[in-house]
Amino acid sequence: MVNVGSPEKGRLILVLGDQLNPDLSALRAADPARDTVVMAEVMAEGTYVRHHPQKIALVLSAMRHFAGDLAAAGWRVAYSRLDDPDNTQSIAGELLRRADQTGAVEVIATRPGEWRLMQALDDMPLPVTQLADDRFVCPEAEFAAWAAGRKELRLEWFYRDMRRKTGLLMDGDAPAGGKWNFDHDNRKAAKADLFRPKAPHIPPDAVTAEVLALVADRFPGHFGSLQGFGWPVDRGGALKVLSHFIRHALPSFGDEQDAMLQDDPVLSHSLLSPCMNIGLLSPLEVCRAAEAEWQAGRAPLNAVEGFIRQIIGWREFVRGVYLLAGPDYTRKNHLNATRDLPALYWGAKTQMNCLSHAVGQTRDMAYAHHIQRLMVTGNFAMLAGIDPHQVHEWYLSVYIDAFEWVEAPNTIGMSQFADGGMVGSKPYAASGAYINRMSDYCGPCRYRVAEKTGPDACPFNLLYWDFMLRHREALARNPRLGPVYRTWDKMDAARRETVLAEAGQFLRRLEAGETV
């Protein structure tokens, strides 16, 4: 696989660990007879945040598989393994080392998905051409043109344009079924006793087994378990996960999209985000496979539309926002939240059953589905006033699919409202009642979801009001939040005082590191 061989002058073609697609723009621009593909496993990428070990293993194993495929297809691949003694352990360092070895004086790259790396490539002493990453439906310039002059960026309008552009679920100029959005039929609470096929598990092959041992050795102390690693690491595995989802889970995707069950971490979610994010599957092929199921009458429109909206809608929209907002986006802190991330996010004991499950599952699988991320861990962090940059670093490190272009707008924007409304029109703040409606977490919890005050009150109930009151000036102007403040104003004065006093006590205990 590692074949620097007899170097001749040519260009270096950089392929990063989340660019594993033979149709990558940098590869399309390359000449296999003259150029050298550079792929590098480096400590810098594994530690710029302390990634979950499963995420590091996924990326390294998928890189090794992909490099093997490229070499078999006739490419010259200079592949640096993490434990190569000469490895400089950074992308820029490895490019310079390979330039020395091959005599190449130029690098062709596909633009990385993170400002940090784009900057590192710009700062190289060699000329680096960064080509557009055209694995997306909406090119950067198209999003910028769409956004220009709009007072607000809202998903729904962008999504409709992407439907028209791709022709997905279109009936001429009209949306299939007469509506753009079928969410009204979705978002049901999950039924615990329903039979669901087990989530797919791809057994590690020899390459992955070697990587798992390497990661265990080199990244000790990173939060997360390597046990049970079953993520697809090549295209074949990714296609298996896709067909498992299409067959078994897509029909109920809409119904179960927002539901949470403590014994079923995946429900009808697809687990396809890592495959798309590292290049093993294209977003359009996934959407077309889902559309075909509806056309064949095997999946209902509400499920297929909901699924496709997440991909050509949200996934494309948040990437556009990330690129439009620029490199300072992850420092945004619209609500001036300054508390440190509590230890419970790193697995310290908590009596809150919802958080305990969401974090425990994250530790074990490097996965939690959207509502667990948004309405449990994200909601709690926002209500408790946690510094959004710390929250962002947590999400970027713990999830199998976390790459900054998609993670940051979801965290800073959608879940923490730290961008002041670029991604969402209002904060996703909710009390315990929402979690209770959508999950089976509350029954066995030490706290009582119906209690609004007192020693057993659900902390989400206390913190919800504390948050709303803390930010009254900023939020009361939002017409959708008017009724919330009217409810508060009608509440008995003594009760309001108790709620805020108890919320304050809870936050002080959280800050002191007590088990809450």
Residue 241 interface partner, choices ligand SF4, ligand FAD, ligand DLZ, none, CB cut-off 5-8 Å depending on type: none
Q: Rounded to the nearest whole angstrom, what is the least distance from the CB of residue 306 to ligand DLZ in the complex? A: 27
Cα 95–chain centre separation: 28
Q: Rounded to the nearest whole angstrom, what is the least distance from the CB of residue 252 to ligand SF4 in the complex? A: 24
Sign of CA dihedral 514, 342, 397, 309: positive
Residue 77 interface partner, choices ligand DLZ, ligand SF4, ligand FAD, none, CB cut-off 5-8 Å depending on type: none
Residue 441 interface partner, choices ligand SF4, ligand FAD, ligand DLZ, none, CB cut-off 5-8 Å depending on type: ligand SF4
Closest by Cα among 339, 285, 335, 277 to 308? 285
Candidates 415, 436, 439, 461: give the one binding ligand FAD (CB under 6 A).
415
Closest by Cα among 71, 19, 5 to 280? 19
Which residues, listed in sequence order, are joined to residue 171 by a DSSP beta bridge? 174
Question: Does 136 engage in binding with ligand SF4 (CB under 6 A)?
Answer: no
Binding characters for ligand DLZ, 369-408, by CB under 6 A (x = yes): ----------------------------------x-----
Closest by Cα among 449, 269, 439, 262 to 356? 262
Q: Amino acid letter at 72?
A: A
Q: Rounded to the nearest whole angstrom, what is the least distance from the CB of residue 372 to ligand SF4 in the complex? A: 12
Question: Does 370 engage in binding with ligand FAD (CB under 6 A)?
Answer: yes
Options 110-118, 258-266, 431-439, 502-510: segment touching ligand SF4 (CB under 6 A): 431-439
Candidates 12, 18, 130, 449: give the one binding ligand DLZ (CB under 6 A).
18
Question: Does 406 engage in binding with ligand FAD (CB under 6 A)?
Answer: yes
Scan for tokens 């004086």, then name that residue.
105
Q: Phi first, then psi: give them for residue 500, nearest 5 degrees.
A: -70, -40
Burial of residue 181 (CB within 10 Å: 0-12, 13-18, 19+) is: middle
- 188-200 CB burial, b ≥16 within 10 A, e <16: ebbeeeeebeebb
Q: Quick check: 357 and 445 in contact, CB under 8 A?
A: no
Which residues, listed in sequence order, are joined to residue 110 by a DSSP beta bridge? 131
Question: Does 447 engage in binding with ligand SF4 (CB under 6 A)?
Answer: yes
Question: Does 18 engage in binding with ligand FAD (CB under 6 A)?
Answer: no
Question: Does 41 engage in binding with ligand DLZ (CB under 6 A)?
Answer: yes
Scan for tokens 């861990």, then name that residue.
377
Question: Does 332 engage in binding with ligand FAD (CB under 6 A)?
Answer: no
CA distances from 225 to 198, 219, 363 (A): 20, 11, 6
Q: Phi first, then psi: give them for residue 46, nearest 5 degrees.
A: -80, -15
Question: Does 315 engage in binding with ligand FAD (CB under 6 A)?
Answer: yes
Binding characters for ligand FAD, 266-305, by CB under 6 A (x = yes): ---xxxxx--xx----------------------------
Question: Does 409 engage in binding with ligand SF4 (CB under 6 A)?
Answer: no
Options 108-116, 296-304, 375-383, 494-502: segment touching ligand DLZ (CB under 6 A): 108-116
Of residues 137 through 166, those in contact with ligand DLZ by CB under 6 A are: none
Candidates 62, 78, 406, 442: give the one binding ligand SF4 (CB under 6 A).
442
Of residues 24 through 63, those in contact with ligand SF4 by CB under 6 A are: none
Question: Does 353 engage in binding with ligand SF4 (CB under 6 A)?
Answer: yes
* DSSP letters spanning 194-237: S--PPPP-----HHHHHHHHHHHHHSTT-SS--TT-----SHHH
Closest residue to ligand DLZ, judged by C-beta, is 17
Q: Reduce the DSSP state of residue 38 to 3 states and report it.
A: strand
Nearer to ligand DLZ among residue 40 and residue 238 (C-beta)? 40
258/318 Cα distance (integer angstroms): 19
The helix or strand, by DSSP H or E, that contains position 460, with its residue range, turns out to be helix 459-470
The token pair that represents 511 in the structure block:
């800050």
Question: Does 20 engage in binding with ligand DLZ (CB under 6 A)?
Answer: no
Closest by Cα among 441, 362, 422 to 395? 362
Q: Which residues bind ligand FAD (CB under 6 A)?
A: 269-273, 276-277, 307, 310-311, 314-315, 318, 369-370, 373-374, 378, 395, 399, 401-402, 406-407, 410-411, 414-415
Q: Which residues bind ligand SF4 (CB under 6 A)?
A: 352-354, 432, 435-436, 441-442, 445, 447, 449, 458-460
Q: Which residues bind ligand DLZ (CB under 6 A)?
A: 16-18, 40-42, 45-46, 51, 56, 59, 91, 112-114, 117, 403
